[in-house]
């Protein structure tokens, strides 16, 4: 039976939830990865590039994933403001467990991307593949640069799936910010992308995880897929090890986040169980709100034909609930090697 493939370009900062999401995409029979692009974020862009390449090797098997190009992109946010820096040791210094000599061993060339900047690669790839989906699971700097370089890029992807942002101002940066981590990493880029991209956009916001995580923690064992005796399970166990320990110390599991966005890109109809369209913008100036998504909630009050048509913001689909059990099943299929997606 022939499976209709979903063409994906995945833009990532390459830390532990990213590499688990990337592995899901590589292993899923419905996904065809055209390229990976690395961006600054929780680690440097060099480290992100190295982590993506290492993850590709961890997934190698019958399929030759080594042919998938990895392009290195922006090292800093558009304004390069110190307050927007997102580099963190939460997942370890390298973002994936700090054991470079374990399988697959880090190679010196891992920090090297292909011969062009990620933004230029995006423009070229999507110009030639108008049916492809752009998935972003890090700050949106590379996409914003592509828009600045090529105005027509706004129409090139068939759709875009973003892990980032929020809609109830629930943040995850620190107690002094109401922004979500990826949008906080480059608020100007997030604003540019939401205002100027013309393709359909689906956002998997931080609250989709935040509000349902307690229920998911009671119904899903988020470490079970890491216990198979396979090279990939071992690698992902290593990559998530520091994050899992920190979560366990606070009485929680290290559940899925970026994995939900990638799964949504592969099969949104199956994964996104609830969603709503919102008119949104990004706050760029607030001391505590910089990077927060601002929602036009007054629009929700007007639902008849006489509603005022004064919107200046972009209308975007937000996933508010998702099928975590399907994502968990897919990750079991990926790490076990069963192929039972």
The catalytic residues are 13
CB 269 within 8 A of CB 331: no
CB 69 within 8 A of CB 35: yes
HSE-CB at 1 with a 13 A cutoff on CA atoms is 3
Helix (H) or strand (E) holding 133: strand 133-137
Cα separation of 74 and 193, whole Å? 15
Helix (H) or strand (E) holding 311: none
Q: Is 329 exposed, middle or buried (0-12, 13-18, 19+ CB in 10 A)?
A: middle
Cα separation of 85 and 274, whole Å? 32
Residues pairing with 319 in the sheet = 275
CA quadruple 1, 19, 194, 153: dihedral positive or negative?
A: negative
- CA distance between the termini of the chain: 14
Pairing outcome for strands 133-137 and 6-12: parallel
Choose among 218, 217, 209, 293: nearest CA to 258. 209
CB 37 within 8 A of CB 121: yes
CB 140 within 8 A of CB 77: no
212 contact partners, CB below 8 Å, separation of at least 6: 321, 322, 324
DSSP state of 95: S
Pairing outcome for strands 272-282 and 314-322: antiparallel
């Amino acid at each position: 039976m022939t499976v209709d493939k979903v063409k994906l370009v995945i833009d990532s900062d390459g830390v532990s939830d990213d590499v688990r999401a990337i592995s899901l995409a590589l292993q899923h029979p419905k996904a065809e990865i055209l390229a990976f692009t690395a961006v600054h974020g929780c680690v440097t862009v060099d480290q992100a590039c190295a982590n993506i390449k290492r993850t590709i090797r961890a997934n190698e098997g019958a399929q030759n994933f080594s042919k998938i190009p990895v392009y290195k992109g922006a090292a800093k946010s558009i304004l390069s403001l110190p307050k927007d820096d997102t580099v963190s040791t939460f997942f370890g210094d390298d973002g994936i467990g700090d054991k470079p000599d374990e399988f697959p061993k880090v190679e010196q060339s891992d920090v090297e991307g292909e011969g062009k900047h990620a933004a230029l690669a995006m423009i070229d790839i999507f110009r030639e593949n108008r049916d492809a989906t752009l998935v972003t699971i890090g700050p949106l700097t590379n996409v914003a640069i592509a828009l600045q370089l090529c105005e027509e890029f706004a129409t090139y992807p068939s759709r875009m799936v973003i892990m980032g942002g929020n809609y109830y101002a629930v943040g995850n940066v620190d107690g002094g910010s109401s922004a979500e981590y990826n949008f906080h990493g480059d608020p100007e880029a997030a604003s540019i992308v939401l205002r100027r991209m013309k393709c359909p956009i689906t956002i998997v916001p931080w609250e989709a995880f935040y509000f349902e995580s307690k229920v998911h923690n009671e119904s899903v064992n988020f470490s079970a897929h890491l216990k198979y005796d396979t090279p990939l399970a071992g690698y992902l166990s290593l990559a998530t090890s520091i994050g899992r320990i920190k979560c366990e110390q606070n009485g929680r599991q290290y559940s899925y986040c970026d994995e939900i966005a990638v799964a949504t890109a592969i099969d949104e109809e199956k994964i996104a169980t609830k969603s709503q369209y919102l008119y949104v913008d990004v706050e760029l100036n607030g001391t505590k709100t910089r990077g927060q998504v601002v929602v036009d909630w007054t629009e929700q009050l007007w639902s008849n034909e006489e509603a005022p048509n004064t919107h200046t913001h972009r209308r975007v689909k937000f996933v508010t609930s998702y099928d975590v059990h399907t994502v968990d099943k897919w990750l079991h299929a990926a790490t076990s090697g069963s192929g039972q997606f």
